[in-house]
Amino acid sequence: MFKIDLRLIVLYLQVCLAIGALRAEEAYSRQQDGFEVLGTRNEFWAIEVVPSLGGKVISLQDQISRREWLWSRLEDRSLKKDPRFGFGNLMGADELLPNLKPETLQGHALPDHGEVWSSSVDWDADLLESSGVLKTYLDLKVLPLRYSREISLDGAMVRIRFIVENLSEKKIPFLWAWHPIFTVKAGDKMYLDTVPPEFLVVGHPGLGQVSIGDVITWPGLEAGVDLSQLSFPEIPKAGIKVYSDSPADGRILLSNTFTGAALTVEYDLGFLPYLSLWLSRGVWGNAHHLILEPTNRASEYLSDETEKLKSSGWLLRRERREWEIRLTNHSVRTSAEPASGDNFIH
């Protein structure tokens, strides 16, 4: 006769309870300022998105160093909707699709910074509940494109998978760029293991040493900026935006020498061969922040003639393209208190 081992049953029930508790802790939803906020978290990360704000990532919290990596113009991180880019929720991380600068292309009026950020996106409630994956999706109106994104936690890594699909029978130009606004605090540094040879200046508020179209080299001291130190050494209020080829390993490290907070950003070079950097101190949102924009185009305009022969900036008929950005937590615990304004999900 089959003999039941009670110890195995007890162990099995304990594992089931542990898995159930883990799942309940990982995925959640809450209300803030009239918006539904979706979240997932583990021992390394807590990340939140708002579907009705284009799936904006409003929070990327490091559970080890207790740092909120994503900047917000408002100290209370309150949420609101505004049809003008930069006037509503100047915070967090968006995606720019299918364009950056507003223009008219093939009879289509393309809005400022694209369509996604100002749209309400659908989301997969079952997937969030069952596996803690934040999946959002949208069919664009200005161009026949289908767009989806999945955010999942894999230990110390946040995996963000993006899919864009051409629903038409025609070849379509498109621009995609990640647009995370990272906080910059005292002691922050940026490292590139493989530094691109040159950076093209496309914006330089407050910097008189350079002009649009100039080429500078890392870390940009000739322009009055030190990108490695995320600072403007002799200018109290300034900003700069540059384009370059992506680092050859597709990897950028941000770290803080005082708090031990550190993360790497890694992405797929085959789909995102270019990188734009925007560093600002006081000239946008009256704050110090950094935007890292891996992108498929080295121009802010879809109509740019120099982009016509580059396959990365076009979708063929019915083409489906998929890529990933990975954020890895490298923080170490220190006794330092988080800087003012940092938040932590308990």
Residue 68 DSSP class:
B
- Write down the pLDDT at residue 6: 43
Q: What is the pTM of this model?
A: 0.88
Q: Which SS3 state, helix, strand or coil, does residue 127 take?
A: helix
Contact 247, 193 (CB under 8 A): yes
Look at phi and psi of residue 5 and say left if phi exceeds 0, alpha if psi is from -120 to 50, else beta: beta
Q: What number is the average pLDDT over the span 225-237?
A: 96
Higher-confidence position of 11 and 127: 127
Q: What number is the average pLDDT over the span 163-177?
A: 97
60: exposed, middle or buried (C-beta count within 10 Å: 0-12, 13-18, 19+)?
A: buried
Say which range, 38-42, 221-225, 289-293, 330-334, has the weakest mean pLDDT: 330-334
pLDDT band at 336 (very low <50, low <70, confident <90, very high): low
- Write down the pLDDT at residue 343: 32
- Write down the pLDDT at residue 142: 95
Contact 147, 163 (CB under 8 A): yes
Distance linking the first and last C-alpha atoms of the chain: 50
- The yes-or-no verdict on residue 333 having pLDDT over 80 is no
- Write down the pLDDT at residue 17: 38
Is it true that the peptide bond before 98 is cis, omega within 30 degrees of 0? yes
- Write down the pLDDT at residue 274: 97
Contact 205, 282 (CB under 8 A): no
Span 296-305, pLDDT tens digits: 999 999 988 8
pLDDT band at 339 (very low <50, low <70, confident <90, very high): very low
- Write down the pLDDT at residue 5: 53
Span 270-281, pLDDT tens digits: 999 999 999 999
- Write down the pLDDT at residue 74: 87
Q: pLDDT above 90 covers what percent of the chain?
A: 79
Question: Which of 10-19, 235-244, 331-340 has the highest average model confidence (pLDDT)?
Answer: 235-244
- The yes-or-no verdict on residue 338 having pLDDT over 70 is no
Say which range, 39-48, 67-76, 329-338, has the weakest mean pLDDT: 329-338
Q: What number is the average pLDDT over the span 231-239?
A: 95
Contact 189, 290 (CB under 8 A): no
- Write down the pLDDT at residue 116: 97
Span 99-136, pLDDT tens digits: 999 999 878 899 999 999 999 999 999 999 999 999 99
Helix (H) or strand (E) holding 322: strand 320-329
Average pLDDT in the chain: 89
List phi, psi (to 5°) of 312.
-65, -25
